[in-house]
Amino acid sequence: MSKPPTRSPRPTRPPALAPLAPDSLALALTAAAEAIAAVRAGRSLNDGLAALWRAYPELPAAQRGAVMDLAYGTLRDCGRGDAVLGRLLQNPLTEELNHALLLVAWHRLETRPEQAHTIVDQTVEASARIARGGLKGLVNGVLRNALRQRDTLTAFLDRDEEARLRHPLWWITRLRKQFPQDWEAILAAGNLHPPMSLRVNPRRGSREAVAARLAEAGHATRPLGEQGLAMERPAPVAALPGFAEGLFSVQDWGAQQAAPQLDVRPGMRVLDACAAPGGKTAHMLELVDCELLALDADAARASRVSDNLQRLGLQADVRTADARRAADWWDGRPFDRILADVPCSASGVVRRHPDIKWLRRPEDIGSFATIQAEILEALWPLLGPGGKMLYVTCSVFPEENSLQVARFAARHADCARLPLAGALERSMLPNADHDGFYYALLEKQS
C-alpha cells in the first residue's frame, strides 16, 4: 500500500537530549516529548523517531525501547492529556516541547502511579535541561497538582467522551453513525496493543518447522489459517530465528487474506499497484509462480519491496511509479490480476500507528476517496477480459470501502462484483486477532 499523504509538517528543532544521562527516565521522557511534538507539528511518528535515532545513534536499545513505549502510549491516549492540561493550565503553553513533555508525563503517571515521585522528579529535571522558557517551576506545579486532584481528574476524564474513548470527537461521531452496533468495539480495538502475526514462506520451509524453531527459542505461537502464526508475545523481529533466512515475514492476519482472495494462477501477469512495503507482493509470489510488476510512488518505499523480496528469495519487477499515470510505466499488455491496495485513512490500523488519530482530519476521508477513485479508473483499462481486481484498504470508513466500490461498479457496466466468503465484500473490523481491512473482488466482463 502506498504511503498515505499527511499534512505538511512544520519544521522541527534538534532534540534536547545531550545534557541528560543516557539511561535516565528524564532522557526517555524528553525524547518521547520530541517525538510527540513532531507528530503535533504534522509529521508521522516514524519520521519523528527516525530523526531522534539519527541525531543520537549512541542511545542503547533499552532506552530506545523506553522512548517508543512512552511515545506510542501517549499517542494512544489521544484526548486525555490535553483534557487534563486544559484544566490545570491557566494559559496554554506556547512552547510545544514543554506541552508535549507534560502529555508524556501524564501518560506515565496514569499507567505507573506507583512511580509518581520519580516521574515528577525526572520530568522536572527534563524541563530544566530543555531550558526553553524557564518553566521548571510550572511543570513541577502542574504535575503535583495533577497528583493531588487525581480522583477529580479521573472522574472528569470519564465524563469527557473524547478522553474516555481516546479518539478525536469527529472520529467517534462518524463511527457511531456508520456502525451503530459495533462502534464502541471498533474504538476499543483501536486503543489496544496490536497483535504480532507471522506469515510462513512455504518456499523455504513448513509452518510446523518454523513454529518448532521459534518454540525452541522461547517464542510460543499458535496457527492461523494456512500459513500464519500468531505470536503469544510480540518480540523484535530481527531477533527471531529464521527471519534473516527468509523463513517468514511479519504480516497482520487481516493483511494475509489478500493474496489468496485474488486467485492468482501460474504464469499469470499480475500488477501490485501500491506495493510497499511488499508483504502482499511477496505473499503472491510465495503461493504461485507468476509475472509480477510491483509499483510504488515513493522510491524509498519501493526499495523496501526489493529488500523484502531478496530476503525471501523471490523476484518481481519493482518500479517507482504512480499507479494513476499508466502511460509512464505500462507496456500495453493487459494484466490477468491486479491488486489495488490503495492509500487510505489507515483507520483500521490505528493501534499500530496511533499518530493517525492526531494527524487525520474529517476532510481527509474525502481526499483519500478521491485518490482511490482515480487509481481505480486508471487501473481498470489495464485489466484484460475475465481478469480480476482486488480492491483493498486498511480503513473502516464506508466512504473508502463499500461506497467507493459501489460507485465504481455503477460507473462501469463491464464490472461484476464477485463474492468473498459468501458476500459481495469482506469487511474485517479490528479485533484481538487482526487489524481492520476491507476487500472487494471485481471481475472484468468479456
Cβ-in-10-Å burial (0-12, 13-18, 19+) of 18 comes to exposed
User: Cα dist. 130→17, 269, 352, 413 in Å?
Assistant: 8, 57, 30, 62
Can you state the angle between helices 25-40 and 61-76, rounded to 10 degrees?
50
Which residues, in sequence order, are CB contacts of 278 under 8 Å at separation 6+? 294, 304, 305, 306, 307, 308, 309
* Cα 124 from Cα 118, distance rounded (Å): 10
Pairing of β 383-393 and β 437-444? antiparallel
| Residue 43: closest CA among 91, 7, 94 | 7
Partners of residue 392 on adjacent β-strands: 341, 439
Cβ-in-10-Å burial (0-12, 13-18, 19+) of 363 comes to exposed
Helix ranges (H only) for 217-328 are 258-262, 279-287, 299-312
Cβ-in-10-Å burial (0-12, 13-18, 19+) of 268 comes to buried
Which residues, in sequence order, are CB contacts of 424 under 8 Å at separation 6+? 417, 440
290 catalytic, yes or no?
A: no
Cβ atoms < 10 Å from Cβ of 88:
16
Residues with active-site annotation: 394
